[in-house]
């Protein structure tokens, strides 16, 4: 894409989290209430140290398809791990490449202390795509 945009410029800063010990059914209810497709699993109630992620796909494949009881299962039993994270200073191009190579749709964003500060999704990138196209066209016209 060739832009100077960084992950921190477009990431979602408000991240839904669930600490260890939260039932999977409570996470599913939270996802429904907030109309989101994933929740970051954190080690503690402060929500700073991301340890895994639970997505709608996890709920279907690891709970429903296996006829397990989401009320009895805790997030740490179901979460996808290891968690791949990214820094806010990473370029959008690098983030998109990491998503593509790892076949993931979301990347939690951490600061220099490895504390959760946001999340970047494919949708976040797609929202700014028209802006990036405009920037590229503008640069190309300057080079003519």
Residue with tokens 């477009």: 10
pLDDT at 1: 43
CATH 1.20.1420.30, domain 7-143, yes or no: no
Sign, CA dihedral 70-76-79-80, equals negative
Query: What integer pLDDT is reported at residue 4 of this predicted model?
Result: 77
Phi/psi for 107 (5° steps) reads -130, 115
Residue 19 confidence class, pLDDT cut points 50, 70, 90: very high
d(CA 117, CA 125) in angstroms, rounded, equals 17
d(CA 35, CA 89): 28
Average of pLDDT values for 55-64? Answer: 91
Is the overall model pTM greater than 0.85, yes or no?
no
Domain ranges of the chain: 7-143
pLDDT interval class at 59 (50, 70, 90): very high
């Amino acid at each position: 894409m060739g832009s100077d945009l960084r992950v921190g410029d477009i990431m979602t800063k408000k991240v839904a989290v669930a600490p260890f010990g939260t039932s999977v059914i409570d996470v599913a209810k939270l996802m429904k209430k907030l109309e989101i497709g994933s929740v970051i699993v954190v080690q503690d109630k402060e929500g700073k140290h991301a340890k895994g992620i639970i997505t709608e796909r996890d709920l279907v494949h690891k709970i429903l398809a296996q006829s397990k009881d989401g009320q009895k299962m805790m997030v740490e039993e179901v979460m996808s791990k290891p968690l791949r994270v990214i820094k806010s200073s990473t370029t959008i191009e690098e983030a998109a490449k990491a998503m593509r190579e790892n076949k993931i749709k979301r990347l939690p964003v951490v600061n220099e202390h490895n504390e959760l500060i946001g999340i970047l999704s494919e949708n976040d990138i797609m929202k700014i795509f028209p802006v990036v196209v405009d920037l590229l066209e503008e640069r190309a016209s300057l080079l003519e």
